[in-house]
Chains A and B, each alone.
Chain A
Amino acid sequence: MKPPPIAPEEVRRAQEKRLRDVWETPSGWRYWTSVNNTQVGVWYTATAFAFMLFAGVLALLMRTQLAVPDNDFLSADFFNQAFTLHGTVMMFLFAVPMFEAVAIYLLPPMLGARDLPFPRLSAFGFWSFLIGGAFVCGSIFFDAAPNAGWFMYPPLATDKQYSGIGADIWLLGLSFIEVASIAAAVELIVGTMKCRAPGMRVNMMPLFAWYLLIVAGMILFAFPPLIAGDLLFELERMFDWPFFDAARGGDPILWQHLFWIFGHPEVYIIFLPAIALMAMIVPTFAQRPIVGYSWIVLAAVGTGFLSFGLWVHHMFATGLPQISLAFFSAASEAVVIPTGVQIFVFIATLLAGRVIFGVPMLFGAGGLAIFIIGGLTGVMVALAPFDWQAHDTYFIVAHLHYVLIGGMLFPVVAGLYYFYPLVDGRKLSDRLGKIAFWLMFVGFNVAFFPMHLSGLRGMPRRVFTYPEGLGWDWLNLISTIGAYVFAAGFLVVVFDVLRPKSRQPALERNPWNAGTLEWINEPDENWGVRSIPLIESRYPAWDQQDLIRHTDEGRFYLPDAEEGRRETLVTSVLDAEPIYCMRVGGNAVSPIVAAFALGAVFIALTFEWWVATAVSAFVTLGAILFWAWTGTAEIPEKPGKDIGLGLTLPLYRSGPESVGWWAMFITMVGDGTAFGSLVFGYFFYWTIHEDFTAGTAGPGVLWPMAALACFVAAWLLMLAARGVNARGSAIGMRLAVGAALVLTAVGSLTGLYGPWVHGMDPTAHVYPAIVWVLVAWTAVHGAVGIVMLLYCLARSFAGKLTTAHDIDIHNVVLFWHFLTVTAVTTFAVVGLFPLAL
């Protein structure tokens, strides 16, 4: 391609100044109001590492306690808190958030975007994570940490005598963090699908982006069942609704289902992003393109799907029918195929290239070796008969640490060494890196390999001590020594990151000679890329001649910020053709206020401070409305702008072309999954009982059907509202929206009236409880819908929602599609299903 023309020197200087001003990082306390991916990504990563170190200290305490038999270094109760918090923090506050953090930092430069589409949402996610994480971790200093194991099985965890407030802290603190995860999923899916640099077709996307797209999709289907489970769990603990109480028709197994429908895909949600880092590192160190790009896509998509067919292999010992176990055993074996494909692709790439063995490769290769051992023991425990022997022993502890540390921690450290120059402009030390690697690699194996043996010799997991002479003594002592060696290795990494590097000379860009786009970023500029390049290769930095120079000279798209606004391009899903120029949110306080207020809601709920809960909820709503009003669906001062290279793009798009519509769609898919999990609960109770109503009254047919009719009518009115608005009638739109508002309110109240008028007591039996939950879920969504309608009316009266500028009404109608499905399902199930019995 002929190089695009270059602007005169003084014009370029002026452009650079404007861009620099627009993207400038605020100083002083306002630094923390930054929403740019480079700041938020670094905070997020650092926080996740800090939580990891905290959980690592807990692990060392536990290993010290277990070093010798009959030890009394820790009390039994503290030991319970330590292992519960260790697992919880490592999974929820390190492994999952770490991938979100890395993705927020890396995805925009990899895709050639200036920022993710919703930077304020990223900031909101980070602050939520920080607050929720600090709350959960802090509990151990008050002897109030959760102590029932990281998967919180009832009836142990629903027993208030035993578990105290710890279980509430776990449930509410983590629900809050799950909100942040879903926010990240929205951000990453929309970013990957819609914000790629022009020309970056789906066959040219960096593999990291492919993996992230799949992982974000998995979050949408994996996290909501846990949120639904948390809701049921908290209703049982707070209000005595007997979802998991067998005496009143509940069943603890339902929690296990909901937890592991989340928990097993989560393992892959952790593993795939880490392996995605390897898919970026391996080609660079082999100095050639990946062998089998399509095979990696196969592996990512295939693993993403199959990982949802594995959850019951955590429940092999619960007495489910053997045919059920066999289905999950089969899927557990099938997932080995795509997992293996990735490893063979990496090996093939290394064989075909000229390998440079740097520190990132060392950690990567060492991690894969560990992971493969964990994978092989995984194949063993996926077989039900073997699992019955190994269940709840140290064999499982060994297996899961081999998988998680080999499949996540080592690749993440590899990524840290690899991407550090992108953040700081300097490399970490090769020598320290190698020392760290060997300490960690040897320490890890010394710590965890003996656990296979202690497990096979019958040592159960989670015991705080053991008598001598059972054949476990030496194995445990060796494990403890290994754990300290491993920790020492990690401390070397921490030291390497924290040591001052100002005397080290700054490197030139792309010090590893990588081929992918992120390396053309300038570490000392906040704007990402100086201009958004046109992509013609999977490895543009290798294949596109003078790409860095032309990009820096502002020869490509959006080289300027004439209007003083932060902007990036929105492109089409398949071929990345430019659609419109999007103005992204700048630095703001509203996400911080919203996160702190929402955090206060969850914390106040934990302590059952109802007034504080209500006040915080009100503040949250206010902050979100302010954020939406001032920062979304803004009407631009002109219809379009010249973005360079002779291309003029619109500044406003609504419906499926706009990123907001996609965000709503994705959020509602997650919401729908949570709802689906509650419906699953309803039918689950039906299967386990002869008569699951236990002879108690149902909500009848009349009121549920009346509610259903109201919701359907409201939906039709919303369709009409969107239609008449498009035809130019603001008054018609307002009337239709007003009528839909009234019908939704009536429908919600009517729905609640059914169980009310029939005297259904949710504490008496699980049947009334599950009916109340479904109906209340629908009514709450109706209330959220009413807020949206009031918002639309206000926007219309303020002139911000018009025929030409109709983002709001499109997005609200989309919400209404999902609301209608929710309402029809709820009322058909609670009203009609009892008749079919």
Chain B
Amino acid sequence: MRILPKEIETLWTLFTAPVVWALHFLVCYVGAAIYCAKQDAVDFGFGVVRAGIGAVTVAALAMIVLSAVLAWRQWGFGTYDPPHDDPTPHDRRRFQGFATLLLSGLSFIAVVYTAMAALMISGCFQ
């Protein structure tokens, strides 16, 4: 049985991790904003919102880690060093893998930054 999905040949995988960041950011912001606007109409506290943000953060980080692992494989598990500038499909794939890996790292940090907001702030405070 294959644990990791088969490698796919496309430019779009490069954007996986930043897209996950964007969705995570949007869910956190929209979720909290709607809660704060409608808090009188619902019967749960801000703690639930924070727990929800925690849950989507874990899910987002897991997806980013998966994207990083796939990128690491595409890069060749670090066997080859940059700059990956040979005119071959092989080096092109290594480049894609390495750039995707870097983006996964940045997205991971950015998701943690977003989540930290919910760690520090305990209410809507308008």
- A interface residue numbers (CB < 8 A to B): 193, 199, 201-204, 289, 292-295, 297-298, 301-302, 304-306, 308-309, 319-324, 326-331, 333-334, 337-338, 535-538, 573-575, 687-688
Contact = CB atoms under 8 A, between A and B. Distances in A.
Given A294-B98, A294-B99, A203 B113 contact: no
Given A203-B91, A321-B36, A573 B11 contact: yes
B55 to A, nearest CB: 16
B83 interface: yes
B110 A301 contact: no
B113 A323 contact: no
B117 interface: yes
A330 B106 contact: no
Which of B19, B21, B118 has the most chain A CB within a 10 Å cutoff?
A: B21
Contacts of A328: 29
Contacts of A573: 11
Given A306-B18, A323-B36, 14 more contacts: A202-B95, A294-B99, A298-B99, A301-B103, A305-B21, A305-B107, A321-B32, A326-B117, A326-B120, A327-B114, A330-B116, A331-B113, A575-B89, A687-B38
B21 A323 contact: no
Contact of A537 (B85, B96, B99): B85
B10 A294 contact: no
B125 interface: yes
Given A297-B99, A301-B15, A333 B113 contact: yes
Nearest to A539: B85
A536 B103 CA distance: 26
A204 B82 CA distance: 13
Going nearest first, the 8 A-B pairs with the smallest beta carbon separation are A326-B117, A203-B95, A305-B18, A298-B102, A330-B113, A322-B125, A687-B37, A321-B124
Contacts of A333: 113
6 contacts: A293-B84, A294-B98, A298-B99, A322-B121, A327-B28, A327-B29
A326 B120 CA distance: 9
Contacts of A295: 102
By size class, the interface of chain B is 35 or more
A203 B84 contact: yes
Contacts, number: 140
A302 B18 contact: yes
B63 interface: no
B53 to A, nearest CB: 9
Contacts of A319: 126
A1 to B, nearest CB: 9
B14 interface: yes
B106 A298 contact: yes
Contacts of B110: 306, 309, 331, 334, 337
Given A203-B91, A688-B37, A574 B85 contact: no
A305 B49 CA distance: 25
B72 interface: no
- What is the predominant secondary structure among interface residues of chain B facing chain A? helix
B93 to A, nearest CB: 9
Contact of A324 (B32, B38, B89): B32
B84 A294 contact: yes
Contacts of A202: 11, 92, 95-96
B59 interface: no
B92 A574 contact: yes
A322 B124 contact: yes
A538 B36 contact: no
Given A202-B92, A302-B18, A687-B33, A327 B87 contact: no
A292 B83 CA distance: 7
Contact of B85 (A289, A302, A687): A289
Given A321-B125, A324-B36, A203 B92 contact: yes
A258 to B, nearest CB: 15
Nearest to B116: A330
B11 A199 contact: no
A295 B34 CA distance: 37
Given A293-B85, A298-B106, A535-B87, A323 B10 contact: no
A779 to B, nearest CB: 28
B96 A301 contact: no
A338 B21 CA distance: 15
A293 B33 CA distance: 39
A79 B106 CA distance: 44
Contacts of A330: 113-114, 116-117
A298 B87 contact: no
Contacts of A321: 32-33, 36, 124-126
Nearest to B40: A690
A334 B103 contact: no
A147 B46 CA distance: 42
Nearest to A213: B11
Contacts of A306: 18, 21, 110
A687 B110 CA distance: 27
B126 to A, nearest CB: 5
Contacts of A298: 99, 102-103, 106
A201 B22 contact: no
B112 to A, nearest CB: 9
A800 to B, nearest CB: 33
A202 B22 CA distance: 24
Contacts of B120: 326
Nearest to A293: B83
A297 B18 CA distance: 13
Which of B87, B98, B116 has the most chain A CB within a 10 Å cutoff?
A: B87
B58 interface: no
A309 B25 contact: yes
Contact of B87 (A193, A293, A320, A536): A536
Contacts of A327: 25, 28-29, 32, 114, 117
Interface string B51-93: 0000000000000000000000000000000111101010110
A309 B103 contact: no
B87 A204 contact: yes
B9 interface: yes
B126 A302 contact: no
A295 B98 CA distance: 9
Contacts of B102: 294-295, 297-298
B113 A537 contact: no
Contacts of A337: 106, 109-110
A298 B104 CA distance: 9
Contacts of A304: 18
A334 B14 CA distance: 19
A289 to B, nearest CB: 7
Contacts of B11: 193, 202, 573-574
A305 B87 contact: no
A301 B99 CA distance: 10
A507 B120 CA distance: 62
Contacts of B9: 574
A194 to B, nearest CB: 12
